[in-house]
A and B are shown apart, each in its own frame.
Chain A
Amino acid sequence: MDKKNDLNINNPYKSQESFEAIKSLKNLPLEPSPFLAKRVLRNLNAKAQTENPFNLFGRFFGQFKFWPSFTVALASIFFSIVVFKTGVLIKTNPIPVESYLLGQTYVIRMDIRPLPNSDIAYAEISLPDDSLEFASQKFSEIKLQKKLVVGWDSMLEKQYMPIVVQGKKAGSTKVIVNFYDSDHNLVTTKEISLYFKAGV
């Protein structure tokens, strides 16, 4: 142990008072913003997307060349959503009442259209709890994440945002997609409700 903080051992302060004054700063209640960790993670995800557009999702979806192209009644003004089982369409309408099988991989396709007068920079896809996991055959580590960030430009290029998930708990759950502007302000939110049941 090479700490030499004792006044009487080595390099003493010229006065005990100044020594104690410095030591009193140990207890100074300096706290960073309570949002600092979230800010770092958001920027980390955005950075990863910038450096590697579409990241795991993009590479994963390279293998899906032929998408059935239809939308369903869940469409909002800006988005439309198609849900189908990987490779095989299972249901078109209506999505909220459809139930899916636990452990199967499903693709949620969110069609994207440019929003007039908006400044969306990226989307953050969130899974609420352990009832859902992101899925990828090639990048299995993605299942550990509960949030993914996708750059808006990469979404616009493709005109859609694919979200690949597996249900892990029976019952209702949802995918939340928050869209942020370049100042990290929330622009809009989209929720996708899903219902999972045990396999036959």
Chain B
Amino acid sequence: MNFKTDLSELIKNAIAGHGASQEQLILETQKPLYTFCLHLTKNKQIAEDLVNDTYLKALTSLKDLKDASLFLPWLKKIARNLHLDFVKSAPQKNQVLVEDYEFLDLTQGQEISTSQIDTFKLLSSMDEDDRMILVLVDIQDYSYSETAQILEIAEGTVKSRLSRARDKFADLYLQKKDGTKNSSRSS
């Protein structure tokens, strides 16, 4: 299936209540949305709940989507706003430690390198603003303007925040690397 070509048709059918089209829309977009939500919430269960709530909101307000090609960024914008509401309403529930990650569970048993795990944890330790801008631009390949729309900030803010986030990540990465070297030397 050519997703981009058929997206408008799928959305049209989904608006009409066609269950198979709704399911297809979910299947085609759930992985990047889930990844986004996982980086956002840092917890597998909360991420799945957020994905669920996002689709519920999106599929009941599909008529509001002006441009079918923006479906996925629109989903992420909804997810982020729902997450913000969740954090505001129950901040204590969002206190999830990075150590809580269960990578084997997250990746459903697929192979993953130690360096990927370390990088994932490092990214997870960053502030949400910095983390999400790196996720959107450097991992999920969104343009500055798309990122600006998802995060509801100005494009200039995206650029400045990205620059700062990249610097912070590089510092953390080098610190971690030096720390690993030092600990291996001392042992």
Contact = CB atoms under 8 A, between A and B. Distances in A.
Interface of A: 1-5, 11-15, 17-19, 21-33, 36-41, 43-44, 47-48, 141-142, 144-147
B144 interface: yes
Given A1-B143, A15-B170, A141 B107 contact: no
Given A23-B138, A30-B34, A44 B48 contact: no
A198 B153 CA distance: 61
Given A28-B112, A39-B52, A40-B26, A22 B119 contact: yes
A37 B119 contact: no
A32 B31 contact: yes
A47 B166 contact: no
State the main secondary structure of chain A at its contact with B.
helix
A29 B13 CA distance: 30
Contacts of B174: 14-15, 18
Nearest to A34: B108
Contacts of B122: 21
A12 to B, nearest CB: 8
B7 interface: no
10 contacts: A4-B159, A11-B166, A21-B122, A22-B138, A26-B139, A26-B140, A31-B108, A142-B17, A144-B18, A146-B20
Contacts of A146: 19-20
Contacts of A28: 35, 107, 112, 116, 120
Interface string B64-75: 000000000000
B51 A36 contact: yes
Given A32-B31, A36-B30, 19 more contacts: A3-B141, A5-B141, A13-B170, A18-B169, A18-B170, A22-B139, A24-B115, A25-B116, A29-B110, A31-B31, A31-B107, A36-B26, A36-B34, A36-B51, A36-B52, A40-B55, A44-B22, A141-B16, A141-B18
Given A11-B162, A11-B163, A44-B55, A29 B108 contact: yes
Nearest to A46: B56
A194 to B, nearest CB: 21
B38 interface: yes
Interface of B: 13, 16-20, 22-23, 26-27, 30-31, 34-35, 38, 47-48, 51-52, 55-56, 59-60, 106-108, 110-113, 115-116, 118-120, 122-123, 134, 137-141, 143-145, 159, 162-163, 166-167, 169-171, 173-174, 177
Contacts of B116: 24-25, 27-28
Contacts of A31: 31, 34, 107-108, 110
B56 A40 contact: yes
A24 B119 contact: yes
B159 A11 contact: yes
B146 to A, nearest CB: 9
A145 B115 contact: no
Contacts of B119: 21-22, 24-25
A5 B113 CA distance: 23
A23 B116 CA distance: 10
Contacts of A18: 166, 169-170, 173-174
A89 to B, nearest CB: 31
Contacts of A23: 138-139
Contacts of B166: 11-14, 18-19
Nearest to A29: B110
A19 B165 CA distance: 12
